[in-house]
């Protein structure tokens, strides 16, 4: 891949651009807003400094990686010579369809077009596409430059070489791609995550424990193990006969609601949106939120470093 284009310079976009530039690729980062591109480059540099601080890259690598990223506010300039395009635009289907129409009228016929969507099935994204066989989903997780997982979603018409080249590109960039063999809402990780979140909020509503202790029960229990042993292998280690009894006992008592919990609905209705509003189930001081995010990312980096030794 001689040139990779990332469309959208927001939180996920600049993280993905960093991933590919760090892997040695020439990257064009596109956005309609010049200030968004300027902020993205600052964020990339700051992120790379964190990688340097824990010894994952050399200091000289920071400039080298940033210099591989060229910004553009002209779409034709951004995609005309690209070999691989990733769009990271808002989750509005009409917006994505309009973007794909523009891209396909400009880019090379062999260019692979990927979406970072976590919402739409590939069949809907490609509904109006000229060449459906070259389109694919590469779903990164925030922060994209740190979390290893990327879900790769194909469909029956997706060309095999598109799948193979995409997986190879991600592996060379240090990512862990997993391929969905069939379309399903939420893909893999978000379905698993949603199941845990639904049960966590059910425990909150029942007053079983404090919100702090419910979070600790995951981060210091299953979450601790899941970093290296997934839920399916966990059942093998525990014994399938044991887990058969556990599931038979617990499944009838688990939350099975079909929509968001009331506690979330009530807080959203009151404008309590979490970090973005300063209050969710926890309260957030605007002066310390950034510090908390930076602390989170440092911890993630240390875990990433540990997993790379695995």
> What residues act catalytically?
118, 139, 151, 190
For the record, the structure tokens of 237 come out as 């280690």
- Look up residue 279 and give its DSSP letter: B
Q: What is the CA radius of gyration of the chain?
A: 21
- The residue assigned the tokens 């990339």 is 44
**Cβ contacts of residue 171 below 8 Å, gap of 6+?**
177
Q: CA triplet 76, 19, 25: central angle to 5 degrees?
A: 55
Query: 306, 307, 178, 153: which is closest to 232 by C-alpha?
Result: 178
Is the separation of the CB atoms in 116 and 87 below 8 Å?
Answer: yes
Burial bucket for residue 102 (CB in 10 Å: 0-12, 13-18, 19+): middle
């Amino acid at each position: 891949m001689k040139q990779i284009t990332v469309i959208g310079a927001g939180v996920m976009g600049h993280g993905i651009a960093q991933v590919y530039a760090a892997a040695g690729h020439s990257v064009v980062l596109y956005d309609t807003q010049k200030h968004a591109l300027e902020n993205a480059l600052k964020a990339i540099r700051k992120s790379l400094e964190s990688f340097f601080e824990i010894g994952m890259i050399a200091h000289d690598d920071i400039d080298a990686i940033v210099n591989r990223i060229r910004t553009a506010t002209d779409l034709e300039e951004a995609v005309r010579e690209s070999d691989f395009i990733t769009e990271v635009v808002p989750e509005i289907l009409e917006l994505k369809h309009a973007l794909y129409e523009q891209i396909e009228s400009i880019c090379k016929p062999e260019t692979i077009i990927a979406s970072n969507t976590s919402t739409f099935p590939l069949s809907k994204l490609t509904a109006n596409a000229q060449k459906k066989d070259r389109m694919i989903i590469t779903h990164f997780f925030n922060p994209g430059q740190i979390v290893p997982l990327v879900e790769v979603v194909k469909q029956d018409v997706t060309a095999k070489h598109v799948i193979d080249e995409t997986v190879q590109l991600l592996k060379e960039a240090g990512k862990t791609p997993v391929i969905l063999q069939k379309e399903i809402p939420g893909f893999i990780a978000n379905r698993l995550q949603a199941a845990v979140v639904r049960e966590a909020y059910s425990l909150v509503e029942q007053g079983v424990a404090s919100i702090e202790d419910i979070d600790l029960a995951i981060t210091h229990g299953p979450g601790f193990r899941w970093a290296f042993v997934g839920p399916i292998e966990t059942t093998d280690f525990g014994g399938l006969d044991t887990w058969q009894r556990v599931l038979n006992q617990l499944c009838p008592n688990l939350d099975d609601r079909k929509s968001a919990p009331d506690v979330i609905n009530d807080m959203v209705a009151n404008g309590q949106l979490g970090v973005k509003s300063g209050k969710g189930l926890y309260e957030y001081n605007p002066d310390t939120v950034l510090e908390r995010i930076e602390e989170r990312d440092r911890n993630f980096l240390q875990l990433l470093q540990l997993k790379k030794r695995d």
